[in-house]
Structure 1
């Protein structure tokens, strides 16, 4: 039996990307299609989404809901993969320049509750044959933006006596919860009983993330370790009791890497292509990176890279505190990212003080991200918490040894270069246990020590590059979950 599944999300690479969510929604549906599933996606009609799809055609008008004057469901094709993608064309809601979630002052749009309620509601309508030619058996909702989809399916089940489709809800980051004032509940068109502690109510407000966690048939998150961590008081973000209560329905499935995009042997965005057996060409990427950022062009300087949102979650305050250790040992640091003004300023000050050793570029640039991963010797991902993390997976593929905090998906994917692990041919990077400057500094020192032992460094790079975190295995786990539900 072919499983029909609808993936519901706010972004999808290469149409629209603000973070790792887009990489997952861009890669997982095609991986499921390869396994024989019939998978489509549903996205809001943001300008970049509408512009990037081919053969867009109307499917059905959408009833006037949530204050949108006019809304239509359309269906197009993603040229890169052939994936069928539904879009909600509602210009009132989605035709806005810049960031899909924030206005020009970087403040969340005041109507985000209605904008993303429409996304969840449209998913439930598709499950009820809004498109007469296709309806999903599984509605797979991603993160808070799609969190209302399971709630609308549950409301339809109440009305009809049976669920129009089964639902899966994936948490990509529990810290982003889609919380809105209680008075907006009345605009969502849900039964009054849904505004309850056993429902969408969350400390007197309403939470789209909680809606997904409460009403979905099955829950997943993006690594096995994170699935355990979010059931604790420390990392449960106020939802740990609900998650412990649903522990039997919660599975941690590791995110994968799309190696058609992230592969140093075929990557057209980097200065030189290389493989585990032709690693010498990686040095050309390093020299180009040093030149691009105006760093001292020293081939023997240990070069650390960071491609990240500049936030405390990403542990960059800790890295800033440990930066003197890198500089005094003759190392270099390249940072690409934007975020917390205090962190941005701290890094810019360090770059100003050490122009030959530290360079910072604010913003995000996909091509430059590839060049930093290819040119770095070490990629630093010192996150306080990390649901899965994709940067360390890209780093492994490019032989840029990841330096990570032992949490979430980082713990699941990187093996520390301890003496024992080096001896057993297991080491792939540098892992520190305690989130404190001393522990990070010790890991930095281990990186310098291994870099001084050229043969072992090269063997560790080659081992890292041979790791396989492709989507195949993860897609199989998702498909097994769908089959169990359907």
Structure 2
């Protein structure tokens, strides 16, 4: 029997991307379809989504919803792979330029509760045959933006007196919880008793994320280690009690990489193609990268790359402390991203002090991200916590050895270049346990030590490139979960 599943998310690569969520929403549905599932995606009608879909046609008129007049549901196709996408048209809620969540001042929109309640509500309507031609058996909601989908589904089932669809809720990052003032509950059109500790109430406010965790049939998160970590006081964000209570419904399924997008043998965005068997082209990528960022053209300098949001979560305050160590040893560093102004300024100052060795560029650009991953010797991901992390997986594929903190998905995917791991042909990068300067400093020294041993470095690169973190295994695990529920 073919499983019908609806993925509900706020962004999807290549239409709209602010982070890893878009990569997952763009790659997992096609991987499930390849394995015989019937999968569609529901998105808010942000300008980039509306502009990127083809063959768009109306499905249903929804009238006035969540203070937005003339809401309609439309269906279109993603041109790159034929994926069927439902899009909610609500001009007053979604038709805004720039970031989908924040205004020009980088402040969350005041009506985000309504904007994303509508997303969850429409998902539950699709389970009630809003599209006469197709209804899902599984609603798979991603992160807080879609957290109300399982709640609206439970409310509808109470009305109908029977089950309509089963729900899966995936936590991509527990730190973002979609918390709103309690007085907004009245605008959500949910039963009164849903506002309680056993429901969506969270320390006197509303939490869309908690709604997803409480009302979904099953919870997944994006790595096995993170699934354990979020059940602890330190990393549970105030929800560890609920997560421990639901631990039998919670599993960690590692995110995958779309190797049609991230593959150095065919990547159109990099200076030279190369592979594990033919590593020669990588040095041309390094040279092009040094040139692009105005660094000294030294082929033998160990080049560290960072492509990241510049935030404390990503551990870049710790890396900033260690830049003198990298420079002193003759290494180079390129940092690309945007975020916390204090970190942006600190990194920019270091780059001005060491123009030959350190370059910082603020922004995001997919081409430049590929260039840095291909041209660096080491990709640093020193995150305080990291649900899955995709950057280290891209780095492995490009033979750029990841330097990571031993948490979440980073711990699940990178093997440290300790002497015994090198001897057993297991090492694929550099892992530090304690989040402190000495820990990171020791990992940086290990990277320099291995780089000085040319043959062993090349062997580690090849081993990294041979790791398979494609979507296949993960898609199989999601399918098994769907079958169990359906």
Q: Give the TM-score taking structure 1 as reference length.
A: 1.00
Q: Distance in 1 between matches of 2:289 and 2:442?
A: 26
Q: Distance in 2 between matches of 1:193 and 1:378?
A: 52
Q: Distance in 1 between matches of 2:70 and 2:319?
A: 49
- Superposed displacement of residue 164, structure 1: 1.1
- Superposed displacement of residue 65, structure 1: 1.6
CA contact (8 A) 2:63 2:69 kept: no
CA contact (8 A) 2:255 2:388 kept: yes
- What corresponds to 1:318 in structure 2? 318
Q: Distance in 1 between matches of 2:207 and 2:195?
A: 10
- What corresponds to 1:367 in structure 2? 367
Q: Distance in 1 between matches of 2:30 and 2:479?
A: 12
Q: Give the TM-score taking structure 2 as reference length.
A: 1.00
- Superposed displacement of residue 58, structure 1: 0.3
Tell me if 1:258 matches 2:258. Answer: yes
Deviations 1:190-212 (A, max 9, x none): 00000000000000000000000
Q: Distance in 1 between matches of 2:39 and 2:17?
A: 20
- What corresponds to 2:76 in structure 1? 76
- What corresponds to 2:126 in structure 1? 126
Tell me if 1:449 matches 2:453. Answer: no
- What corresponds to 1:225 in structure 2? 225
Deviations 1:59-110 (A, max 9, x none): 0011422101111000000011110000001111000000000001111000
- What corresponds to 1:212 in structure 2? 212
Q: Distance in 1 between matches of 2:228 and 2:320?
A: 29
Counting matched residue pairs gives: 486
Q: Distance in 2 between matches of 1:67 and 1:363?
A: 35
- What corresponds to 2:149 in structure 1? 149
Structure 2, unaligned runs of 5 or more: none
- What corresponds to 1:240 in structure 2? 240
Q: Distance in 1 between matches of 2:81 and 2:326?
A: 42
- Superposed displacement of residue 308, structure 1: 0.2
- Superposed displacement of residue 277, structure 1: 1.1
- What corresponds to 1:40 in structure 2? 40
- Superposed displacement of residue 473, structure 1: 0.3
- What corresponds to 2:356 in structure 1? 356
Moved more, 55-64 or 431-440: 55-64
Q: Distance in 1 between matches of 2:459 and 2:80?
A: 35
Q: Distance in 1 between matches of 2:326 and 2:62?
A: 57
- What corresponds to 1:55 in structure 2? 55
Q: Distance in 1 between matches of 2:62 and 2:245?
A: 36
Question: What pairs up with 1:383-402 in 2 under 5 angstroms?
Answer: 383-402=383-402
- Superposed displacement of residue 324, structure 1: 0.8
Structure 1 runs, 4 residues or longer, greater than 4 Å off = none
Q: Distance in 1 between matches of 2:119 and 2:164?
A: 17
- Superposed displacement of residue 163, structure 1: 2.2
Moved more, 35-44 or 155-164: 155-164
- What corresponds to 1:110 in structure 2? 110
Deviations 1:338-376 (A, max 9, x none): 000010000000000000000001010000000000000
Q: Distance in 2 between matches of 1:305 and 1:249?
A: 38
- Give RMSD over aligned pairs: 0.4
